Structure 1
């Protein structure tokens, strides 16, 4: 346990530069006194680090010192190789760089860890995009990524669903997010922080103005809050339904015994719920709202008329008809 912590402390100093004992203690989730002991242990082992007192003080490594990644455990190396998404890197123009980085990481690992990492590449493949759709056309992704990296504002022309359908807006690109194979730009602008689908950007112009990301902004935290808010706005209603065991399984509803289960489920709208619940066929009975129940009943009657006796399609599948 302590050996792993010492490696983590060393890598923190290597990657971030000067850090105080308090900052190291917070990162490692230990006491400041433990940090003092760990620093002494590293120094005794010949690691060239030193401490500076005062308000601007802290611990740092001697300039130019780097450690090889021999501190990686087998699980950490496997996770590093599993997390690599070649498609996403290629989209950003970093496919060759990713391949080179993985080769260097592979070469730096001890033999036994390298063997575990190799098995990951042989046995697992990450394919982020979803089914039933072609990949988004994102011709402006590379320019957007460059603006995010350089912290430079851009003027984008954007196509959206509501009127006016096309807008032009100066934004400050804070970060890019890849969600289910689709790229999203998180950017600040005249109306605050907004999220834009990169495939809906129809034009892009640079204004060459540098900007500073607001203090405290965290891309991961923003995205988590954005998704939570999206789900809250998405499911604004609910439906009361009865489900067979198979219907409960398909909707992810806890079953009440082996018979029918009554449950309340969130719905986006009557229109959306109508299509989604019809997919369950006879495994669901809608009890409320009445509007949704009537819509489904009407669709079932129309289907019965189309496929029942005397319907235009009766016997259509009979080769002898």
Structure 2
């Protein structure tokens, strides 16, 4: 168990070059104290590993050191062809690089693993964006990515045409969410997300910045996305819904809203109906999200939403009754 962890720690450092003991502890699912013990064990074994103190400190290997522990298990070989999203790589100008890297990895595999990995690639295709998703134009993406790789500051003009703002940011990461690119960047002491398609102009600055050593892009995005979903769902409706038709909630509502509604659902009554609370951005959004349930849902409150549903129902009836 410990030998496997030491190998993983070594490969993490070789891949990143520099990180913190706290981040290593989180990825290895051990305590920081255990990480320091492992670092000491590797050092005693002759691995040129050392720790630096201070704000920009952390754990690193001596520059140029490479381990030969690069063997892949069959599961890891399977993942090689699944890990990359070709569309995303192409957006970043790395399509050819990704294809070349995959070929190099395949060429380095033993014959039995090479055949297995190739079969996986031939049988699995990842299409990340949702249905009917129109690709957003992102002319600024390449310049943003170049600055991101080099830790260079960016001056951007951002927003819609009628309301744009200029600011200087430190690019910390790029996130591809449901086919849409977002730049995660620091502006002063605040870390914000910017939709790349809304960056009207980008100007790389030769000035570099020190990337926060403890910044974890995945953790930051997960937290920010959850908060965004929570703040967007500002209004709520109390519904009575046929338990057998709860699946219809997914037809016209935000996934986060559906999850919250199902978690709030009580036990079915004698008629097989449940009461639940459905959140949304506005009452109009709620009305159209409830429509797919048809006769299998009733709005209990608020009164203004009941009135809106009645108006919609009257107009629909007028179109069908002579």
Q: TM-score, normalised by structure 2?
A: 0.79
Displacement of 1:61: 7.8
Structure 1, unaligned runs of 5 or more: 310-321
Counterpart in the other structure of 1:298:
311
Any conservation in 1 of the 2:48–2:65 contact (CA below 8 Å)? no
> Structure 2 CA distance, aligned partners of 1:206 and 1:165?
22
Displacement of 1:89: 0.3
Q: Is 1:287 paired with 2:285?
A: no
Change (3 A) 1:292 1:109: same
User: SS state of the match for residue 148, structure 1?
Assistant: helix
Aligned residues: 301
Counterpart in the other structure of 2:133:
133
* Greater Rg by CA: 1
Counterpart in the other structure of 2:252:
none
Displacement of 1:90: 0.3
Any conservation in 2 of the 1:49–1:59 contact (CA below 8 Å)? no
Counterpart in the other structure of 2:153:
153
| 1:189-246 Cα deviation digits (max 9, x unpaired) | 2583221111111122233222223453322222112111101101222211111134
> Structure 2 CA distance, aligned partners of 1:53 and 1:268?
48
Displacement of 1:81: 1.9
> Structure 2 CA distance, aligned partners of 1:22 and 1:235?
34
> Structure 2 CA distance, aligned partners of 1:202 and 1:237?
33
Displacement of 1:274: 1.0
Displacement of 1:155: 1.9
Structure 1 window deviating more from structure 2 (247-256 vs 274-283): it is: 247-256
> Structure 1 CA distance, aligned partners of 2:22 and 2:193?
36
Counterpart in the other structure of 2:223:
225
> Structure 1 CA distance, aligned partners of 2:106 and 2:193?
36
Question: Among 274, 277, 294, which residue is 2:290 paired with?
Answer: 277
Any conservation in 1 of the 2:135–2:179 contact (CA below 8 Å)? yes
Counterpart in the other structure of 1:268:
281
Counterpart in the other structure of 1:69:
70
Displacement of 1:32: 7.0
> Structure 2 CA distance, aligned partners of 1:195 and 1:68?
37
Counterpart in the other structure of 1:123:
123
Bigger proportion of residues as helix: 2
Residues 167-246 of structure 1 correspond to what in structure 2 (within 5 A)?
167-189=165-187, 192-246=190-244
> Structure 2 CA distance, aligned partners of 1:260 and 1:79?
44
> Structure 2 CA distance, aligned partners of 1:82 and 1:297?
49
Change (3 A) 1:234 1:91: same
User: SS state of the match for residue 280, structure 1?
Assistant: helix
> Structure 1 CA distance, aligned partners of 2:24 and 2:234?
44
| 1:255-285 Cα deviation digits (max 9, x unpaired) | 6277112212222210110111112222211
Any conservation in 2 of the 1:69–1:108 contact (CA below 8 Å)? no
RMSD across aligned C-alpha pairs, in angstroms? 3.6
Counterpart in the other structure of 1:316:
none
